[in-house]
Structure 1
Amino acid sequence: MIKIKLIKVIFTGLVACFHLLVNGQGFPTPPVNVVNAETKLLAPVAWVSGTVVSRNNSQIASEVSGRLKMLAELGADVSKGEVIAQIDDQTLLIQKREDIASVQNAKSRLEFLESEVKRKTSLAKRNLSAITDLDETVSQRDVALGDLTGAEARLAKTVQQLEFTQLKAPFDGLVAQRLSNQGEYVSNGTPIIRLVEMDNLEASVFAPLTTYRFLKQTDSLAVSSELGKGIAKIKTLIPVAESRSHLMEIRLDMSTFDWPVGLNIKVAVANGDKKEALAVPRDALVLRREGTSVFRINGESKAEQVPVSVGVGVGEFVEIIGDIKPGDKIVIRGAERLRNGQAVQIKQSNQSLISGKQ
């Protein structure tokens, strides 16, 4: 008899617990964060592809021929004007000495002929010299002047080529690639180093021409990649597209992002007019087998699961369509653990979290 009574007591307790669970009263009151559903101006967006690029990504080529003596290390950070490669200059130094000698010879001949012109001019005035002799000397003087000009030009060219034996960085950047090797003979125009500017990075994004009128109405776009997400300012719109792709290029300012050159990104581009919609943060959406829903907290601090449809999404906010009104308290943290009718408590940190969201 005692055993039967004990079994009845246990069974009665289990039934009571079952009723409590069914009525949503047996779960602990979990802490949640909420925001008010509100009406916002939203516009439909399309996510398009882009790439982080450098404003200057250059193959620095040799401007003279010669053997490569020195080359900057791969991955080196170099400053504008810094020597990044050195070509053997011995042949040009010899050429410079020859050119200097040619200039000196031309100057000496010109000085001699100028004095001859003066002397024969004086003789001709006193009829002591033939005019034809004077004319011939003047002609020789003019030829000597041309020879001097040519010799000086050849010397200047050699001096310039000597300067070109030292390849200097045209901008601050990173040595991304060594296109030639030390000891190789390079010709004029041979690429030697690929230099990439790492400051003031940009994103090259291609979007349909139909988005142009919407892009003109904003100055920044949402960007996303495997390294994070954020907002980037529009630097340039280029409303010109190829006949096949019908895509126009957008350049975004990526100087505030610590993202590497070549990283693939996604960019949200508006492709429709703005409209008023009831919106909540995306974190409020609960995705379950039976469909999409949100949890609303009623006046009794209990969670009410409300089925919704999802409309336009922009950034952190998304339009919801369902039995939700502006001002309803919607759970954005802790909803994944809730059950319909379950009592909840709103975290004390809720206000600071909402402020951070906004």
Structure 2
Amino acid sequence: KFIYALPFFIFVLDASAQTPAAPPAIVDVGTATASRVALQRWVPGSVVSRDDAKIASAEAGRLEFVAEVGTRVKAGERIAKIDDQALRLRRDELAAEVRRTDAQRALAATQLDRLQKLEASNTIAKSQIDEARATLETNVQTTSRARAQLHQIEHDIDQADVRAPFAGVVTERFSQRGEYLQVGASIVHLVDTDHIEARVQAPLALADKIRAGMQVQVRAGGAEKPASVRAVVPVGDERARQFELRVGVDPALALVGSAVEVALPETGANTTAGLAIPRDALVQRSDSTYVMRVSGDNKAEQITVTPGTSSGDLVAVQGALSVGDRLVVRGAERLKAGQAVKVRSDG
């Protein structure tokens, strides 16, 4: 038994010795550069809509239709309908009143014209003409009042058809179909999700560094995009020592209600010179932050660094790095020190 097992054991050892080495890991790299990174402070903010309103009823009546939650509507599109049957009946009544008063006005005008023709022959008293003029003027004013009432009721009928004042999404319904609404009752909550911005409460110490129109970075969910300061409210809170600013936000970056961070120019010197690396090169662990440097013989080297201020895609760092070092920006989390790598751009 021993004699037969020995060749098999030798074969297993020989086969394992011939196992090929693992192929090098494919990575993307960036370069460490000497740069002046702007000092910034990341300030929290909340995403809000430029147009956010509770749409209310302008007329009293029974609610016949209300848009479903999640419905996207255009500006001027119907979002609710109030029963306007009583208003339409009132409109018909006022239209008849306009026709009646108009007929009386026409009759008064004819009578005045007839009396004025007889005035030259002195066959009528002057008081009759004065009375006819007064009657005509009264009928003219009565007709004008009836027309104004008709226009008012037509406006009320138009208001019974509740339309979106701006394009947006119905996020909540406060009233349901069949309910009787009073004037001013909230019907739906409408939010414009295309025109959004971050509402930021910044320290008063940064007030002299920020102006409308300046470019800043906005970060949400690990993604970062450039944005523009739309407005700065030049009034501070004396208790919180903060002031408000509004920063435009790309709808693709965050939803209304999301928390974001905005990078604002820091107090003090504008820039600091040092070594800057791509943000994606940083590997953050609970006990340390490091980068993976590609050596001249394409081996991975783990270098511990201390990140500093950031600007866009660059981060200032301190560590055993030099300008021109190749740093892994994609795939560093899976690498081990000494592991063979192959830079993707090397072919």
Output the CA distance in 2 between the equivalents of 1:134 and 1:289.
102
Which residue is 1:179 aligned to? 174
For residue 101 of structure 1, report the CA deviation from its aligned partner.
1.7
Q: Against the structure 1 CA distance between its residues 299 and 157, is the aligned structure 2 distance closer, same or farther, given a 3 Å change threshold?
A: closer
* Equivalent runs, 1:1-358 vs 2, <5 Å: 31=25, 34-216=29-211, 219-226=214-221, 228-244=222-238, 245=240, 246-255=242-251, 257=252, 259-272=254-267, 273-285=270-282, 294=291, 296=293, 299=296, 308-332=305-329, 333-334=331-332, 337-339=335-337, 342=338, 345-350=340-345
The answer to whether the 8 Å contact 1:220/1:233 transfers is yes
Letter in 1 for 2:324: G
Letter in 1 for 2:223: K
Output the CA distance in 1 between the equivalents of 2:172 and 2:276.
49
The answer to whether the 8 Å contact 2:60/2:180 transfers is yes
Equivalences, count: 321
Please state whether the residue corresponding to 1:347 is helix, strand or coil.
strand
Which stretch of structure 1 is more off in the superposition, 163-172 or 204-213? 204-213
Output the CA distance in 1 between the equivalents of 2:326 and 2:91.
84
Output the CA distance in 1 between the equivalents of 2:149 and 2:284.
78
Letter in 2 for 1:135: D
The answer to whether the 8 Å contact 1:209/1:241 transfers is no
Q: Against the structure 1 CA distance between its residues 122 and 212, is the aligned structure 2 distance closer, same or farther, given a 3 Å change threshold?
A: same
Q: Against the structure 1 CA distance between its residues 324 and 74, is the aligned structure 2 distance closer, same or farther, given a 3 Å change threshold?
A: closer
For residue 152 of structure 1, report the CA deviation from its aligned partner.
0.6
For residue 68 of structure 1, report the CA deviation from its aligned partner.
1.1
Letter in 1 for 2:65: M
Q: Against the structure 1 CA distance between its residues 103 and 285, is the aligned structure 2 distance closer, same or farther, given a 3 Å change threshold?
A: closer
Output the CA distance in 2 between the equivalents of 1:290 and 1:196.
43
TM-score (norm 2): 0.80
What stretches of structure 2 of length at least 5 have no aligned partner? 1-20
Which stretch of structure 1 is more off in the superposition, 177-186 or 73-82? 73-82
What stretches of structure 1 of length at least 5 have no aligned partner? 1-26, 353-358
Output the CA distance in 2 between the equivalents of 1:260 and 1:102.
54
Letter in 1 for 2:39: P
Output the CA distance in 2 between the equivalents of 1:325 and 1:68.
71
Please state whether the residue corresponding to 1:198 is helix, strand or coil.
coil
Output the CA distance in 1 between the equivalents of 2:229 and 2:317.
33
Please state whether the residue corresponding to 1:128 is helix, strand or coil.
coil
The answer to whether the 8 Å contact 1:285/1:292 transfers is yes
TM-score (norm 1): 0.78
For residue 219 of structure 1, report the CA deviation from its aligned partner.
4.3
Q: Against the structure 1 CA distance between its residues 239 and 275, is the aligned structure 2 distance closer, same or farther, given a 3 Å change threshold?
A: farther
For residue 106 of structure 1, report the CA deviation from its aligned partner.
0.9
